[in-house]
Structure formats: structure tokens, C-alpha cells
């Protein structure tokens, strides 16, 4: 059973399009993180959200934490080929025994 469900698993879009990736769970998290991973590398943190309803922006990326702290979304505006990669959400909290749990990832491909 996957604790964190990401959707979609694969996304192939043209440069300039917008997209949203979802991360859902039935569990409550103290914080939720989004990572980006490129081939042959380890994941790198993009953002951490900790407050229910919180919205954070990082250039063309907008991250939202659900009010109940069970879900999150990542929205990319005007995607560029450099956004290509594997996007992973990860949750932490006392319900998870203090460890960081990852979703299965969303593989994004942005074509020029």
C-alpha cells in the first residue's frame, strides 16, 4: 500500500503548457516536501510546506499544502525543457514514526 499517491505518473507536454502534479494521502503529515531528481543524481529539495493551506512560489512553480495536511499539489506555469525530470513528494510526521516517506514520482517530459 502506497502511503503517498502521486498523479499522474507520466506527463509529456509541449514547452509553454501548464501542468499540475498531485500528491494525496489518507494520512496527516507534519510537513510535506517536493524534490526533483535528474537521471544519475539524487533528489534535490525544491520546497517544504508545513502549514495547512500554505502556498509557496518558486519562480514558475507553485506548491500548495492541503488544509487538512493530507495532500499537496505542484503547479508549473509555462513549462520549459529544463523542467524535465522526476518530481517526488515526500511526507514526514509523527504518524510516520519520524521517517520521510516518498511517493512514486511523476516523470515529466517537456518537449521544445
Of 106, 107, 108, 103, give the one whose Cα is nearest residue 24. Answer: 103
- Could you tell me the smallest distance in angstroms from the CB atom of residue 23 to other proteins? 11
The residue (of 42 and 112) whose beta carbon lies closer to other proteins is: 42
State which of residues 15, 17, 41, 67 lies at the interface with other proteins (CB under 8 A).
Answer: 41
Q: Is 18 or 27 the residue whose CB approaches other proteins more closely?
A: 27
Candidate list 11, 76, 79, 90; residue touching other proteins; CB under 8 A: 90
Closest to other proteins by CB, 28 vs 93, is: 93
E strands, the chain, in order:
5-7, 10-14, 19-24, 31-37, 44-49, 55-58, 61-65, 71-76, 85-92, 101-102, 106-111
Among residues 48, 62, 84, 95, the one that binds other proteins under rule CB under 8 A: 48
Instruction: Produce one character per residue of 46-62: b if its CB has 16 or more CB atoms within 10 Å, e if not.
Output: bbebeeeebebeeeebb
Identify whether the C-beta of residue 89 lies closer than 8 Å to the C-beta of residue 100: no
98 binds other proteins (CB under 8 A): yes
Stretch of residues binding other proteins (CB under 8 A), selected from 12-20, 54-62, 69-77, 100-108: 100-108
Amino acid at each position: 500500500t502506497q502511503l503517498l499517491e502521486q498523479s499522474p505518473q507520466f506527463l509529456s507536454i509541449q514547452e509553454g503548457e501548464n501542468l499540475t502534479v498531485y500528491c494525496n494521502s489518507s494520512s496527516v503529515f507534519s510537513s510535506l516536501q517536493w524534490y526533483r531528481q535528474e537521471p544519475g543524481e539524487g533528489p534535490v529539495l525544491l520546497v517544504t510546506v508545513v502549514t495547512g493551506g500554505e502556498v509557496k512560489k518558486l519562480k514558475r512553480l507553485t506548491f500548495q499544502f492541503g488544509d487538512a495536511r493530507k495532500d499537496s499539489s505542484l503547479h508549473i506555469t509555462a513549462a520549459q525543457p529544463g523542467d524535465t525530470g522526476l518530481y517526488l513528494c515526500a511526507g514526514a510526521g509523527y504518524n510516520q514514526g519520524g521517517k520521510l516517506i516518498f511517493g512514486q514520482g511523476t516523470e515529466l517530459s517537456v518537449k521544445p
